[in-house]
Structure 1
Amino acid sequence: MTSPHLDAEASGRLNRSAAFASITVATLLLGLKGWAVLSTGSLAMLGSLADTALDLVASVSTLLGVWIAAMPSDANHRFGHGKAEALAAMFQVVLISLSAIGLAVRAIGQMFGKTTVEDPGLGMAVSALAIGATLALVAYQRHVIARTRSVAIATDNVHYSADLLLNFAVIAALAIERWGHIPGADAVFGLMIAGWLGWGAWAASQEAIEQLMDGEWPLEKRERFLEVAGRHPALKGIHDLRTRTSGNRDFVQFHVWVDGAMTVTQAHHVMDELEAALESEFPGTEILIHPDPEGLIDEDKLGAQDLTVDLSDASPALLAQGEPRGFRAT
């Protein structure tokens, strides 16, 4: 769901600005870290360089994802292009995973070899510069995410947030090599960084997978939606609630019970009022409502079971059953 203060075009512009910012930072850091790797020979720094190279590729894919996702609906994509963001996010996850595996293999190999780190002070200075640039980027990305809720920018943010720890780990590894004279420290930190990247890839994939699989909204959000809908005095009940998210757009459809004696015109007026109330609380959401006469339940979905309960009893356990939900408006 986008911010109530942003329309789709403004949200798209803000997402693209965040993607361009990450591309700029990744390009700058790629040059600095490449120079540092050639000067120091540090495995931890090499891992950081590899991650930054993938950052650049991932940021380009993020830009493409948010650009496509911002395109308006057309004849072939009536629900919009929002899933382009989730696809871009999954591409990033693949790149992060490959980076983690490659770094882990190299770190394990170095543990059984003999290597030395040259000029660790240079590597530490470059990592400190990388931390400063990444902190600024992460802060801006979080500002954008708060306003657009972009899953692609959020995944990019997870990656760059992990980079902060990665750069601190590089500084620690080089400091130990320089002043601690502990052999193998660089390889150990390289392996730790690989593990952190792998965990970050797993965590970043979850929301993208939920969107691609049309997962339901979080439980708290569904309950709040039911609560807002239940305030309308003409509603006798709600059932068969279905929700999903695609990029920065939310979709919801459900059936409502109304007085069976209502005319079509009266029922339509009630639906308009209900949509207006819901859109004020859930801006940018596409809502589809199907009115039914009170007591009617689709038997192919619910059988003869009566799922109508008081709103106060619409507990998490009821919503978590995975069956169409219902409550009686009070």
Structure 2
Amino acid sequence: MTPATAQLLTPRRLMMASVVVALCTIALKTLAWVVTDSVGLLSDAMESLVNLASAVFGLVMVTIAARPADDDHPYGHHKAEYFSSGFEGILIIAAAIGIVWAAAGRLLDPQPLQQVGWGLALSVASSVLNGLLAWVMFRAAKEHRSIALEADAKHLVTDVWTSVGVVIGITLVHISGWLWLDPVVAIAVALNILKEGYHLLWRSSQGLMDEAVEPDVLETIHQTLAGFAHRRDEVEIVRFDHLTTRKAGQRRFVDLHMHMPASWTLGRAAAVRGSVEQALMSAVPGLRATIQLLPSDVEAHFDDEVDLI
């Protein structure tokens, strides 16, 4: 994705597009359910309602996340995106329970399907819309490091696979005449989206608890620091320790200590620290680095028992 495209496809604009697509798919899938009376297509339509609710909530959250830091939120509002992902996970689980409830009743009292051809055509059309939007959102989520976009894209992909399963199930019902297969497919769909809802909830909880940055990002940080750490006559001149990281939405944070000779002037030490901070933020987009300067013979004791009380 080019920088110009990334600027055009912002998280807020894509979440607005998700709201529009959700409204379109609700109309298509509801019509498919009405003409066929298939509980499988009903489950598909119910998940699209979840798509709409989560897209609206996601739009609100990415708007809040984009706000600049203020006196009450000096680190910014980036964690708002985790609420969007968690809310979407809750809605997915609720939809799965509703689908199982509806399918269980139809399993006990199977009903013949009507106008299968029209119903399948409408379902496929809605899946194409969701699939295209999910593809764009996945690319934008990687570019903007947005968990809200990623969560919505994953939900859309789940919706696509849901529709695929429903289409296959209804086709088999039409060919075989096994009416019980329709609710069985609906229950299988519910179990699939239940798993996706759990994953979204778990990831959101980890983000809200200041999870460390990804392994590849941490490796980049270490490689960048290695370019500044050096020795002379088997003695370390500059070294780094007590490195901790966390992530909050689009932002990444790293805190560390930089040790250097006590004979260095404050100006020289500050200049080196500035170079390290700039190198880190250039290597990892969206990173904010905080570096504490310490003489080489001074150690911080963060792991002492008195600090853990």
Q: TM-score with structure 2 length normalisation?
A: 0.91
Q: Which residue of 1 aligns with 2:116?
A: 120
Q: Which residue of 1 aligns with 2:146?
A: 150
- The question of 1:131 aligning with 2:118 is answered no
Q: Distance in 2 between matches of 1:73 and 1:11?
A: 21
Encode CA deviations 1:100-128: one digit per residue, 9 max, x unaligned.
Answer: 11111222232222322222212101111
Change in Cα spacing, 1:300 to 1:248, as seen in structure 2 (3 Å) is closer
Q: Which piece of structure 1 moves more, 222-231 or 78-87?
A: 222-231
Change in Cα spacing, 1:11 to 1:71, as seen in structure 2 (3 Å) is farther
Encode CA deviations 1:6-65: one digit per residue, 9 max, x unaligned.
Answer: 8xxx76961111101111111011111122222211101100110001100100111111
Q: Which residue of 2 aligns with 1:277?
A: 279
Aligned residue identity for 1:292 = L
Q: Which residue of 1 aligns with 2:255?
A: 253
Q: CA deviation at 1:197?
A: 0.4
Q: Which residue of 1 aligns with 2:196?
A: 200
Unaligned runs of 5+ in 1: 304-330
Change in Cα spacing, 1:11 to 1:217, as seen in structure 2 (3 Å) is farther
Pick aligned residue for 1:190 from 179, 186, 189 = 186
Q: Which piece of structure 1 moves more, 216-225 or 56-65?
A: 216-225
Q: Distance in 2 between matches of 1:300 and 1:233?
A: 22
Q: Distance in 2 between matches of 1:282 and 1:25?
A: 33
State whether residues 33 and 45 of structure 1, in contact with CA within 8 Å, keep that contact through their aligned partners in structure 2.
yes
Q: Distance in 2 between matches of 1:35 and 1:41?
A: 10
Q: Distance in 1 between matches of 2:84 and 2:215?
A: 26
Change in Cα spacing, 1:221 to 1:201, as seen in structure 2 (3 Å) is same
Change in Cα spacing, 1:92 to 1:293, as seen in structure 2 (3 Å) is same
Q: TM-score with structure 1 length normalisation?
A: 0.85
Q: CA deviation at 1:302?
A: 5.6
Number of residues of Structure 1 aligned to a counterpart in Structure 2: 298
- The question of 1:54 aligning with 2:56 is answered no
Q: Which residue of 1 aligns with 2:103?
A: 107
State whether residues 4 and 284 of structure 1, in contact with CA within 8 Å, keep that contact through their aligned partners in structure 2.
no
Q: CA deviation at 1:295?
A: 3.5
Q: Which piece of structure 1 moves more, 178-187 or 44-53?
A: 178-187
Q: Among the aligned pairs, what percent are the same residue?
A: 24
- Where in structure 2 are the equivalents of 1:219-234 lying within 5 Å? 219-233=215-229
Q: CA deviation at 1:228?
A: 0.7
State whether residues 16 and 59 of structure 2, in contact with CA within 8 Å, keep that contact through their aligned partners in structure 1.
yes
Q: CA deviation at 1:5?
A: 5.0
Q: Which residue of 2 aligns with 1:293?
A: 295
Q: Which residue of 2 aligns with 1:77?
A: 73
Unaligned runs of 5+ in 2: 231-236
Q: Distance in 2 between matches of 1:14 and 1:64?
A: 14
State whether residues 151 and 207 of structure 1, in contact with CA within 8 Å, keep that contact through their aligned partners in structure 2.
no
Change in Cα spacing, 1:31 to 1:4, as seen in structure 2 (3 Å) is closer
Change in Cα spacing, 1:61 to 1:203, as seen in structure 2 (3 Å) is same
Q: Distance in 2 between matches of 1:163 and 1:247?
A: 24
State whether residues 229 and 240 of structure 2, in contact with CA within 8 Å, keep that contact through their aligned partners in structure 1.
no
Q: Which residue of 2 aligns with 1:239?
A: 241
Q: Which residue of 2 aligns with 1:315?
A: none
Specify the SS of the correspondent of 1:255: strand
- The question of 1:25 aligning with 2:9 is answered no
Aligned residue identity for 1:285 = L
